Amino acid sequence: MAAEEKSQAGREHEVGTLAAPLLTLDLNREMEQLRAEGRWQSGHTAKTLVKYPDLRLVLIVMKAGGRVDKHRADGRICVHSLDGKIRFNTAERSVELAAGQILTLERGIPHDVEAIVDSAFLLTIAWCDKSSTP
């Protein structure tokens, strides 16, 4: 898929400084910018805010009814609902998260996400830093 087609499909894009000794982020501004882009109308769009070898932060905004199809992460994840209400589904459980709620999930568990209303959440993915293990 061409880069232009990918950007129109509501997929993740990266912009700005993603790794530094100290980063500060304005999540409200980032959400506004993502919602101002036409591509979030396709259901969802995402922006990587922080990207280190062992840690990633991704801001995801979703239209009501939008879905992130079933997938799995190689690292442990934390989902922090910032705005609206989302439904997070695994084979065993479905959890609704409103703004201010957090869930964590062990690595490798298949899951999907759907927006009940227009929503935004911060996804944190953490991997084991193999260089620091004994």
How many domains would you assign to the chain? 1
Looking at every residue in the chain, the average pLDDT score rounds to: 87
Q: In what order do the strands lie in the sheet with 102-105?
A: 13-14, 44-52, 55-62, 119-126, 76-83, 102-105
- The answer to whether the beta carbons of residues 95 and 103 sit under 8 Å apart is yes
CB within 8 Å of 120: residues ≥ 6 apart? 31, 34, 59, 60, 61, 62, 81, 82, 83, 84
Which pLDDT score, from 0 to 100, does residue 61 have?
A: 97
- The answer to whether the beta carbons of residues 73 and 127 sit under 8 Å apart is no
Percent of the chain's residues with pLDDT above 70: 84
Report the CATH number at residue 53.
Answer: 2.60.120.10
> pLDDT digit string (tens) for 63-107?
999 999 999 999 999 999 999 999 999 999 999 999 999 999 999
> pLDDT digit string (tens) for 30-73?
999 999 988 888 899 999 999 999 999 999 999 999 999 999 99
The phi, psi pair for 40, rounded to 5°, reads -70, -15
How much is the pTM? 0.84
Q: Is residue 123 part of a domain?
A: yes
Distance between CA atoms of 35 and 20, rounded to whole angstroms?
26
Q: Exposed, middle or buried, 71 (CB in 10 Å: 0-12/13-18/19+)?
A: exposed
The structure tokens listed for 61 are: 């905004």
Domain that holds residue 93: 26-129
Please report, as a single letter, which amino acid is at residue 107: R
